[in-house]
Every structure is written in structure tokens, then in C-alpha cells.
Amino acid sequence: MARWGMVIDLDRCTGCQACVVTCKAENNVPVVTPREAQAGRLMLWMTVIPEVEGEFPRVRARFTPRPCMQCDHPPCVKVCPVQAMTKSPEGTVSHVFARCIGCRFCVQACPYGVTYFNWQAPTWPKDLRESLNPDFAIRPTGVVEMCDFCHHRLQHAREEARAEERDVRGEGEYVPACVQACPARALIFGDLDDPNTAASNLAHSPRAFRMLEDLGTSPKVYYLKEG
Amino acid sequence: MQTTHPQAFDRDDVLFAPVLRTGRGFYAAVAVLLAVAAWGAYAYTTQLRYGLGVTGLNRPVAWGFYIVNFVFFIGISHAGTLISAILRLCNAEWRRPITRAAETITVLVLFFGLGSIIIDLGRPDRLFYVLQYGRLQSPLLWDVTSITTYLTASTLYLYMPLIPDLALLRDRARGWRRQLYTAISLGWRGTPEQHRRLERGIAVMAVLVIPIAVSVHTVVSWVFSMTLQPMWKSTIFGPYFVTGAIFSGMAALIIAMAAVRRAYHLENYLKPVHFNSLALLLLTMSLLWFYFTFAEHLTAYYGGELAEGAVLFAKVTGPYAPEFWAMVVLNLVIPLAIMANRRTRTVAGIVTASASVLVGMWLERYLIVVPTLANPRLPYARGLYFPTWVEWSITAGAFALFILLYMVFTKLFPIISIWEVREGRELGIQEAYERIESYLPGPGVGAGGPIALR
Ligand code: SF4
Ligand code: SF4
């Protein structure tokens, strides 16, 4: 069975935020007012974290795209009292909105801070409201949501593969929206257990590391250090 | 004193008085508390209508006042049952007039603990999913289990010693009260056989309730320490929380005792000696609490880990410093200054110290929950937390409703266990004499003593 993972090449990321925008559109992520954003209620399943390191003249800027790390040992799943956070046999962590009671325990448990809570009913500006993605549910007030590697896309790919009586291919057939959108090809996606995919090769490159690796969460998102 | 019941004058009359007669002051207090509680309820309907967005919660501080209240209320619940059980098992004779007041706090405050969690939910309408789809691995489910067990056990433990008093009331009350007391006193006639069984039952519950109480606050602490967050992931959180719980619970008990003593003229029953004994226990807990706090913060400091350091310094010198140092003063300096000195260890002094501890322990819970969330391991989302009027109102409403329920309880049931006080008078002295005698070396001093004492 495939074990889907993402490799993010920090050398390639230009910080253009195409992934951020695409993700919002793909997953119908609510748009909050500037005031709410100021209060720390911005919702970005995928976000690019800008960092400036050091002092002049040794300054260095870095852009770190940050989806859900899709941990192999996800603390968020363990603590959910109603099994709304789940890990599929393929290893993808996703969230059952209709089950979530909104206790926000998963928010506290996730060391990466990638879970978002719906503080109020979701809103979009009029134009965006008219172009919501019909493939993906809108979340009600009071539940958590987070990146699930575009699980609905996996379901799509799986259906097509099943019609042809085969498995989903380890590369190319199923990619999250952000990966598809990245113009710099900084995001690489595929089956980490299949030695023939670019993703699994890069995940084994000497440049590869994972965020907060020492915590034992075993993320399936790998980063490639800047050269 | 005007008596409305047919019985002859009884030396414990003043204990029945609050139940049988109600003054104007009581209704005034009820009106005020009801108003505050109603305001809290209004705030909650606002939250239900618009979602948790009306609170000051945000990312990363997704838990705030409600969770603080949850931990605080569950902590207060350790006042009662645990303290009264320990005192009962130790045969501490001075417990007699205070056990009921303590046990009542436990049972009532537990509802507010559970209620705080429900108020904190984004989807309270899905509450029962916890039973339907519960995941045993989640510490929240452990909480649900241990708190409901504790609630059941401490309700029983409150009820059983109440039965003989209900029978006493049954014989004095009229109208609907008589029917009520007849029904719930379960045909108590005070035969030796009934007494034997009751005391057996109480003893069993007293033993059972202690481990349950300890487990409850341990599990509450595990909600935090089972995560990977800096300064939450701590092995001493279990005992640290239990200590804090007993500490704050005792303070609440002292205040409740002082309040009923003043309101119902119980100076004869709740004497300075009772306050003094509790004050010494409270003092011990204060030092124990400080020991844990010190150990917890020193290890975080000495290790010098960055993530823990961020939380630590946010507390000690950063944005939470005022609350942090206020906590130290309220929980350690003031209680120590007042209660370590015999001259200031008066009833008024002890009550002041207890009030200080209650505020201090609420701050302690706040300082455990919020600074860690505001300084997560990955420094990308840092934030502060300012509660809104909704959170303040709901918190005030919860406290008001708790006090209100406590007052109503004193109107339905005697807040001092009448039969136990009587038993103390009739048997306790003899028993204590014999017990003390058995501690001493050599043959007995003779059985004539207690008579002389009487
Ligand atoms: S907020 Fe929802 S998904 Fe998260 S732990 Fe609670 S019930 Fe589970
Ligand atoms: S990054 Fe957070 S939300 Fe995603 S799987 Fe890991 S713990 Fe869960």
C-alpha cells in the first residue's frame, strides 16, 4: 500500500505563495476579516513562513512552505476523544468534520500548530463564494480543520484506478493541489515506499530533514536543506 | 427564639434553624446571585449563537478561561470528599462539624467542572459523541470516566451521612418538606443495626473515595502532560495538580465554613479551633505547593531548553510576570505571613489567607494553561490572549451559580451533620480517651477518666 509523502525543496521555493492560494481555493478554506486575522484567526492549511536569519551583512532569508506534516505517529489522532482525527491505512491523517466536537485537544497536541479552528461561521467575499469547490465540504462553526493532503483527490484517483482494476500509481496520478500549482516545482509528491518515485528518492537524499524530528512524530513531509 | 415546630427546645436547634426558617437577607443574596448567573447565561447564549469567535481565544491560545475554570473547579472539588474522608479515616474528632460543608462543595462544584468543559466545546450539540465514538486513548475520555466516577462516589458519600439527619428533619418538618424527607430518609429509625450498616457504608466509601479523588486530578493534569508542549510535558504534573487541588479546596472549605458560621450563627459549632486545625493543614499545603512549583520551574530553567525557556521567561519576566509574581505572593507569602504567626492566625486572618489562596490558585491554573499555548515549540505563531466580556461573564456566572446552589443546599439540608456532632458528644469523648490511653505505655490509667472529663 502506498505511503503518501511530500518533499519540499527549500532551495527552489521562491515564496510566491501559489500553493497557499491554491490550497484555499481547493479546500474552501474560509476567508476571515482583517480584524479577525489580526486577532490570530487566520486560516491557512498551507502557509509559507518567511524567516530572516542573522544580522547584516550575514543575512539570509528563507521561505518554508508548511502543510500538515502528516505524521506517521500523529499526536493529534491519539488525543481526539471522538476519533474525528483519523489516520488512514495509507498513512494519511484526515479529519471528519461531522464528528468533531470542537474540544481543540488536537490543536494543543500538534507540535507543528497546523490545525485550525472555525471560530465563527465560515465566510467568503462574494466572488469567492460563487466559485467554491464542489468537491469538498464546507465546515460548520466550531470544528477543527487542517490539511489532509487533499484527501478528496486521492479518493478520485482511487475510483479511476479501481475502474481499471489497478492501484493508484505512486506518482503523478494523485497530487495535492499545492503540488500541482507550485511554479518552481519546489513541492514533490508521491509514494514514499516506492523506490522509483522522485519523492522517495529525495526523501533519502542527504539534504533531507524533517521538522522537529526528535519528537518522534515521524512526519511524512520532508524538507531539502538549502545548498 | 420563635420556633415553628412542636418539638421541645433542643440544644442543637440552631442547626435546624437555617432549614426551617429563612430570612430576608437570604432572598436578597439569592436575587443578586441569580442576576449574575442570568447574565452569564446570556453570555453563553451569545457564544452559542455566534460560535467561540466571541471569546478572546485565538491561534495559538486555543484554550483559555474555560479550561482554567475547569481545572480550578475540579481542584476545588478536592476540598470536600478527600479532606473529609481522610479526617474520618484518621478518626480526627474535630472533623465532625465540617465534613458536610466540605462534601457539599465537592458534589456541587463537580458540575461546574464538567460544565466548563461543555462550555468550551465548539460543538456542544455533539457532546454525546464522546460516549458513542469515544476513543479510549484520549486523556479527555479518561477525564470523563474519572470525573463521573468521582461524582457518583462523592454523591453517595454526601448522601449516606445525610440519612440520619434527614430522619431528624422528617420528624420536624411539615408539608412538602415532610414528604421529601420521608422519601429520602429511606425509613431511618436509628436502630443499632441501621447505625452499624450506615457506618460500615460510610467507612467503605471513605476508603474508596480517596484513590478516586487522587485519580481525578491526576487525570486532569494528564490532559496537559500527555502532549508534547513545552512545560506541559512534565512527570510531576500529576502530584503537582493534586497538591494544588487539595490546597485550593481547603481554602474554599474555610471560606464556606466562615460564611455559614456568620450567616447561621454557628459560632458554637465551628469554633476557632476548627479553623486553626484547617489553617495548619492549609499552611502545610502552601509549602508543599511551593516545593512543587519551585521544582517545576527550576528544572525548566536549569536545562536551558529553548522551547521551555520561552515559556518560563514569559512567565517569570515576560508578559505573564505580573500574574506569576501575584501568584507567588497570594499562594505563599500571604498565607505564610498570616498563618505561621499565632497572633494573626485568627478566624478573620485564616479567611483572608484562604481568599488569597483561592485567587492565587486560579492564577496558577491560568499560568499553566495560557503561557505554554502562547509560546509553542515552533515560534511561527506566537500570540497573547485577552479574554472578552463573554468569558468574564460566563466565569462570573458560574461562580455565582455555585454559591447560589450552595446556599440552596443549606436551606434543604443541615450544613452541619447533626447526628455526628451528637455522636461526638455522646461517644466521641469516651472513644478518644480510650484511644489516647492506648497510645501510652504501661497499663491503662483507668476507665474513669472520661466521666471526669465530661
Ligand atoms: S477538536 Fe475535534 S478533531 Fe480535535 S480533538 Fe477535539 S473532537 Fe477531535
Ligand atoms: S502535523 Fe499536526 S495535525 Fe498534522 S498529523 Fe502531525 S500532529 Fe496531526
Closest residue in chain B to residue A49, using alpha carbons only: B380
Residue from B413, B348, B419, B427 nearest B101 by CA: B413
Task: Indicate the pLDDT class of residue A52, thresholds 50, 70 and 90.
Answer: confident
Q: Per the CB < 8 Å rule, is A82 touching B61?
A: no
Q: Given B129, B138, B376, which is nearest A79 (Cβ)?
A: B138
**E strand or H helix at A51:** strand A47-53
Ligand 2 probe mutation, A6, A64, A71, A83, most atoms within 8 A of CB = A71
Residues of B in contact with A215 (CB under 8 A): 228
- Can you tell me which atom of ligand 2 is nearest the CA of A147? 4
Per the DSSP assignment, residues forming a β-bridge with A117 are A144
Ligand 1 proximity of A142 Cβ (cutoff 6 Å): no
pLDDT at B185: 84
Which amino acid would we find at residue B391? E
pLDDT at A131: 87
pLDDT at A104: 94
Indicate the domain borders of chain B: 15-416
Which residues of chain B are modeled with pLDDT < 70?
1-10, 442-454
Q: Which ligand is nearest to the CA of A215?
A: 2
pLDDT at B452: 44
Indicate the domain borders of chain A: 4-224
- Can you tell me which atom of ligand 1 is nearest the CA of A76? 5
How much of chain A, in percent, has pLDDT values that exceed 70?
100
d(C-alpha A206, C-alpha B1), whole Å? 91
* Neighbour tally for B1: CB within 10 Å: 7
Per the DSSP assignment, residues forming a β-bridge with A52 are A61
The counts of H helices and E strands in chain B are 20, 0
Dihedral sign for Cα B80, B86, B88, B94, please: negative
pLDDT at B6: 46
Phi, psi of B382 (to 5 degrees): -115, 150
- Can you tell me which atom of ligand 2 is nearest the CA of A146? 3
Q: Per the CB < 8 Å rule, is A113 touching B378?
A: yes
Interchain contact B121–A (C-beta under 8 A): yes
Rounded mean pLDDT, A125-146: 90
SS3 A172: coil
pLDDT tens digit sequence for A154-193: 999 999 999 999 999 988 899 999 999 999 999 999 999 9
Edge-to-edge order in the sheet of strand A208-209: A187-191, A4-9, A221-224, A208-209
Dihedral sign for Cα B308, B310, B314, B319, please: negative
d(C-alpha A180, C-alpha A196), whole Å? 20
Task: Compute the distance from residue A101 Cα to the ligand 2 centre, in Å.
Answer: 18
d(C-alpha A130, C-alpha A125), whole Å? 9
Whole-angstrom Cα Rg for chain B? 24
Q: Per the CB < 8 Å rule, is A102 touching B61?
A: no
The two most distant CA atoms of chain A are separated, in Å, by: 59
Q: Per the CB < 8 Å rule, is B121 touching A103?
A: yes
Q: Which ligand is nearest to the CA of A142?
A: 1
pLDDT at A117: 94
Interchain contact A102–B (C-beta under 8 A): yes
Q: Per the CB < 8 Å rule, is A100 touching B52?
A: no
**E strand or H helix at A94:** strand A93-95
d(C-alpha B454, C-alpha B452), whole Å? 5
Ligand 2 proximity of A71 Cβ (cutoff 6 Å): yes
pLDDT at B9: 55
Residues of B in contact with A143 (CB under 8 A): 122-123
pLDDT at B8: 45
Ligand 1 proximity of A98 Cβ (cutoff 6 Å): no
Cell 505517529 found at: A73
Q: Please list, residue by residue across A165-181, b when 16 or more beta carbons sit within 10 angstroms of its beta carbon and e when fewer do.
A: eeebebbebbbbbbbeb
* Neighbour tally for B412: CB within 10 Å: 14
> For residues A210 and A221, is the Cβ–Cβ distance under 8 A?
yes
From residue B28, alpha-carbon distances to B33, B263, B313, B396 in Å are 9, 13, 46, 18
Interchain contact B62–A (C-beta under 8 A): yes
Residues of B in contact with A112 (CB under 8 A): 378
From residue B369, alpha-carbon distances to B226, B233, B382, B442 in Å are 14, 12, 15, 57
Interchain contact A12–B (C-beta under 8 A): no
- In Å, how far is B135's CA from the nearest CA of chain A? 5
> For residues B251 and B281, is the Cβ–Cβ distance under 8 A?
no
Burial, A213: exposed, middle or buried (Cβ in 10 Å; 0-12, 13-18, 19+)?
A: exposed
- In Å, how far is A81's CA from the nearest CA of chain B? 5
Ligand 1 proximity of A85 Cβ (cutoff 6 Å): yes
d(C-alpha A215, C-alpha B5), whole Å? 70
From residue B43, alpha-carbon distances to A7, B62, B362 in Å are 47, 19, 21
pLDDT at B64: 92
Ligand 2 proximity of A118 Cβ (cutoff 6 Å): no
Bridging pattern class, strands A221-224 and A4-9: parallel
Dihedral sign for Cα B313, B315, B317, B320, please: positive
Interchain contact B49–A (C-beta under 8 A): no
Q: Per the CB < 8 Å rule, is B53 touching A80?
A: no
Q: In the 8-state DSSP scheme, what is residue A189?
A: E
Domain B15-416 is in which class? mainly alpha
Ligand 1 proximity of A15 Cβ (cutoff 6 Å): no
Q: Residue B28: left if φ>0, alpha if ψ -120 to 50, beta else—which one?
A: alpha
Dihedral sign for Cα B399, B400, B402, B407, please: positive
Rounded mean pLDDT, A17-35: 93
SS3 A7: strand
Q: Which residues contact B175 (CB under 8 A, 6 or more apart)?
A: none
Ligand 2 proximity of A112 Cβ (cutoff 6 Å): yes
Q: What angle do CA B404, B407, B408 make, to 5 degrees?
A: 90
Interchain contact B390–A (C-beta under 8 A): no
d(C-alpha A133, C-alpha B397), whole Å? 43
Q: Which ligand is nearest to the CA of A105?
A: 1
- Can you tell me which atom of ligand 1 is nearest the CA of A109? 5
Task: Compute the distance from residue A48 Cα to the ligand 1 centre, in Å.
Answer: 25
Interchain contact B227–A (C-beta under 8 A): yes
Q: Please list, residue by residue across A30-61, b when 16 or more beta carbons sit within 10 angstroms of its beta carbon and e when fewer do.
A: bebeeebeebbbbbbbbbbeeeeeeeeeeeee
Rounded mean pLDDT, A71-87: 94
Residues of A in contact with B373 (CB under 8 A): 108
Fold of A4-224: Alpha-Beta Plaits (3.30.70)
pLDDT at B3: 40
Half-sphere exposure of A75 (CA within 13 A, CB side): 24
d(C-alpha B232, C-alpha B315), whole Å? 14
Cell 543575512 found at: A59
Ligand 2 proximity of A68 Cβ (cutoff 6 Å): yes
pLDDT tens digit sequence for B261-298: 888 888 888 888 889 989 999 999 999 999 999 999 99
Phi, psi of A61 (to 5 degrees): -105, 145
> For residues A188 and A9, is the Cβ–Cβ distance under 8 A?
yes
pTM over 0.95: no
pLDDT at B445: 52
**E strand or H helix at A156:** helix A151-163
Q: Given A41, A105, A144, which is nearest B58 (Cβ)?
A: A41
